[in-house]
Amino acid sequence: VVGDDVYQLTWKNGTGFVYDKETFAENRRFSYATEGWGLAFDGQHLIMSDGSATLYFLDPTTLSEVRRIDVTAAGEPVVRLNELEYIDGRVLANIWQTDYIVQIDPASGVVDGVIDLTGLLSQAPPAQSAVDVLNGIAYDIATQRLFVTGKLWPYVFEIRLIEQS
């Protein structure tokens, strides 16, 4: 959500949609040359992931690419960047098909933190149906609460991050 607009990506069609926040009426469409995996807003740009190690920064008005960064950890590309959230000057991205969320410096693309959610789902009552991978990050800026969930998960977890040395 940016101002009065809600943005949506399609996974493989290369088409994005912009809706009115109040009515959900479609205002416009836009195109991109890659897949649409995740989208966040840093206060100035939309940040888009496509399952690769690249993050794309888009102008929210023109929807044109302003810049891109390659995400690395210890000098190696971090691939399968998926769902995104922007919190306190950092991009959080879950790594598809893992229990990890990485914290990324949006200026350099360097991973400067890792959130290990291994075992999180097993702490809840057993699901009544099959569950899939970690795949959702949301941040409530008003209450500074962080939430995570996954594909087909019957639960949304509120988590608190504790820095470890």
**pLDDT tens across 6-48, in order?**
999 999 999 999 999 999 999 999 999 999 999 999 999 999 9
Q: Where do the domains of the chain lie, and which CATH numbers do they carry? A: 5-119 (2.40.128.630)
d(CA 63, CA 76): 29
Rounded to two decimals, what is the model's pTM?
A: 0.92
- CA-nearest of 28, 29, 31 to 56 is 31
Q: Please, which pLDDT band fits residue 155 given cuts at 50, 70 and 90? A: confident
What is the per-residue pLDDT across 142-151, written as a single tens digit (0 to 9) for each?
999 999 988 8
Residues 11/35, Cβ–Cβ less than 8 Å: yes
Please state the φ and ψ torsions of residue 122, each to the nearest 5 degrees.
Answer: -70, -10
Residues 46/61, Cβ–Cβ less than 8 Å: no
What is the per-residue pLDDT across 73-129, written as a single tens digit (0 to 9) for each?
999 999 999 999 999 999 999 999 999 999 999 999 999 999 999 988 787 777 667
Whole-number CA gyration radius for the chain: 16
